[in-house]
Amino acid sequence: MSAETFIRRVWIDAPADEVFRWHAGPEALQSLIPPWERVEVAGESAVEEGAEVRLVIRLGPLSVPWIARIEGCVPGRSFRDVQVRGPFARWEHEHRMEPAWPGACWLEDRIVYKLPLGPLGRWLGGGLVRSRLERMFEYRHRVTVEALAGWQDARRLRVSGLL
């Protein structure tokens, strides 16, 4: 069975390195989890080569651990989280910050995934997973755009010594 690919892009009025810095911040991961998802961040999460991100997913009375390793980290431009243990047969999520011009970039999320149970898993859950990803990344991109909306104003205040 071949893997599925999910790609979403959003324009952000902030430079790529600032978008990367925000994603690497201590509060970013928690703020990117939609309120309807029953997911908890277990421990600290760092965006640096080899770091592990630990999540706990609540499925009814069950708790499913999800561990991902940060790989391919290019500070200011991209990083990948690759599932080490979790609910998917394969999960590789690449976060790309592509400079467009000074002060703006494209944020692209590219996920390559396989559901467990082969063709049966794809038949049973393929549509559900795809629709959940659509909804989740609509939320995540909105949160990211809003979090970085005041970037230019804050930078002006820092440069002028007022912040």
| pTM more than 0.75 | yes
User: How are beta strands 4-12 and 62-74 bridged, if at all?
Assistant: unpaired
Cα 125 from Cα 119, distance rounded (Å): 10
- What are the pLDDT digits (tens) for 61-83? 989 999 999 999 999 999 999 99
Computed from CA positions of residues 92, 19, 78, 53, in that sequence, does the dihedral angle turn out positive or negative?
negative
At 39, which CATH number?
3.30.530.20
Cα 155 from Cα 139, distance rounded (Å): 25
Give the domain range for residue 43: 4-159
Say how many domains are in the chain.
1
Confidence of residue 125 (pLDDT cuts 50, 70, 90): very low
Q: Give the pLDDT of residue 97.
A: 97
User: How are beta strands 52-59 and 62-74 bridged, if at all?
Assistant: antiparallel
- What are the pLDDT digits (tens) for 17-60? 999 999 998 889 999 999 999 999 998 878 999 999 999 999 88
Measuring CA to CA, how many Å separate 106 from each of 17, 67, 102, 109, 116?
A: 11, 27, 12, 10, 32
The chain-wide mean pLDDT, for the chain, equals 86
Count of residues in the chain = 163
